[in-house]
Structure 1
Amino acid sequence: MFIENNILKHYLKNVYFITGTAYAGKSTMVKMLAEKYDLIFCGENYTCDITDKVADPDIQPNLCFMNLMNSWEDFVKRSPEEYEKWMYGTSDEVTGFEIAELISLSKDKKVIVDTNIPIDVLKEISDYNHVAVMLSPQSMSVERFFDRNDEEKQFILSVIKNCDNSEEVMANYKAGLELINSEKHYNEYAESGFFTLVRDNNEQDTRKEVCDKLAKHFGFVKGK
């Protein structure tokens, strides 16, 4: 079955998407906006409970990878190319789950989501004032990747540290992050035509300023 994009756009009219690169502040902004403007909050990987139950290895092999791997060491020891392919393959496979979930959640209330939906799909199913791109320089997205209290990322860090050759494994994992956050992928976001914010100052606390800019862009507040 195929659903036309104009139909999806109509049913997603209450959804506001934030996408972009790692360590750009997406998760923080989604949480702040949800709290400040009474929106339904959909954080990173919010569809996991659904995909764990429904995903089929024959249809969604990337989403099922972690359920089929032998150990978490297998996850962190993949080649950079395999990691990049898996990451973007997962985004493609989770798109249908996200769209279905967001249609369900947004029927009567606005939703703000840290999304994995690819940028080319967002162009088809949403509008300029419903999408924001947040970017960070590659050096920041790679070197500061684990500098957060994010439970999932701290678990991955612990797996790497417990490997016998942990320094080599970390170097390999960061090489994968470099591919995922490469200039090619960065430019796909930067040149998308969507409203874009770049995190270029890591010393000052700009959360309120960024939140206000996003709120204005999304139309949550009115202003010049």
Structure 2
Amino acid sequence: MHIPNNIIKSMFQNVYFITGTAYAGKSTAVKLLAERFDGICCGENYHDVFMKHIDKEFQPNLAYFDTMKDWQEFISRTPDEYANWIDGCSKEAESLESIRLFQLVAEDKKIFVDTNISLETLREISDYQHIAVLLCPQSTSVDRFFDRGDSEKMFILDQINQANNPEQAMANYRKCLEKINSKEVYEWYANSGFYTLVRDGNSTIENTIDKLALHFGL
């Protein structure tokens, strides 16, 4: 079944997408925007409600956690393997995200999304005023990756510390992070033509939310 993009775009008039690089503040932005405008927050991996339906034949990347040998395999992959997996997960998650959004638009509220949907797809199903790109320099997104104390990152850090050679494991994982937050990836987002905000030393959460609200016409 194929749903024409004009139908999807019409259904997504109350959906506001935020994409970009790691550590740029995407999760915080969708949470605070939802609070300010009495909307729905679709944080990182909000499509997980459908993970029980995936199949390793059709969604091999999303199913990786069920097929990997152990967590030491996860942290020891090469940067190319890691980057290909991240890209594959994003592509496979697009349909799950879309289905979840189809459910939520029925609530007739504004929906703020920390999205995996690609820029190419977003161009087809949304428009400039409903999309924002948040960017963070590679040095920050890599060096401060483990500064956030969320359970997933702390679990990965624990696995790195359990490796036979923790220093080598950490160096490899940082190379993986550098790969997915490379200069090329940054410039791809920066030159996308969408509204863009860069997180730097002068950025404040309140100012970022104000700018996003203005861009979204809220």
**Structure 2 residue aligned with 1:194:** 194
One-letter code aligned to 2:29 = M
Q: Secondary structure in 2 aligned to 1:172?
A: helix
Alpha-carbon distance, 1:70 to partner = 1.6
Alpha-carbon distance, 1:48 to partner = 1.4
Alpha-carbon distance, 1:121 to partner = 0.8
One-letter code aligned to 2:132 = A
Superposed CA offset, 1:135-186 (max 9, x none) = 0011111111111022211111111111121111111111111110112211
Work out whether 1:215 is the aligned partner of 2:213. yes
Alignment of 1:2-151 (within 5 A): 2-51=2-51, 53-107=52-106, 108-151=108-151
CA RMSD of aligned residues (A): 1.1
Structure 1: how far apart are the matches of 2:115 and 2:44?
7
One-letter code aligned to 2:2 = F
**Closer, same or farther: CA 72–49 of 1 in aligned 2, 3 Å:** farther
Structure 1: how far apart are the matches of 2:135 and 2:216?
17
User: Identity percentage over the alignment?
Assistant: 54
Structure 2: how far apart are the matches of 1:219 and 1:5?
23
Structure 2: how far apart are the matches of 1:46 and 1:151?
16
Superposed CA offset, 1:170-216 (max 9, x none) = 11111111110112211121111110000121xx6600000100011
Alpha-carbon distance, 1:99 to partner = 0.7
Superposed CA offset, 1:85-135 (max 9, x none) = 000110000000001111110221110011111111111111111010000
> Contact 2:19–2:115 at 8 Å: present in 1 too?
yes
Structure 1: how far apart are the matches of 2:7 and 2:93?
19
**Structure 2 residue aligned with 1:206:** 204
**Count of matched residue pairs:** 217
One-letter code aligned to 1:117 = I
Structure 1: how far apart are the matches of 2:118 and 2:128?
15
List structure 1 runs of 4+ shifted beyond 6 angstroms.
none
Structure 2: how far apart are the matches of 1:218 and 1:205?
19
One-letter code aligned to 1:4 = P
TM-score scaled to structure 2, two decimals? 0.96
> Contact 2:34–2:40 at 8 Å: present in 1 too?
yes
Structure 2: how far apart are the matches of 1:76 and 1:99?
30
Structure 1: how far apart are the matches of 2:189 and 2:209?
19
One-letter code aligned to 1:199 = R
Structure 1: how far apart are the matches of 2:86 and 2:117?
12
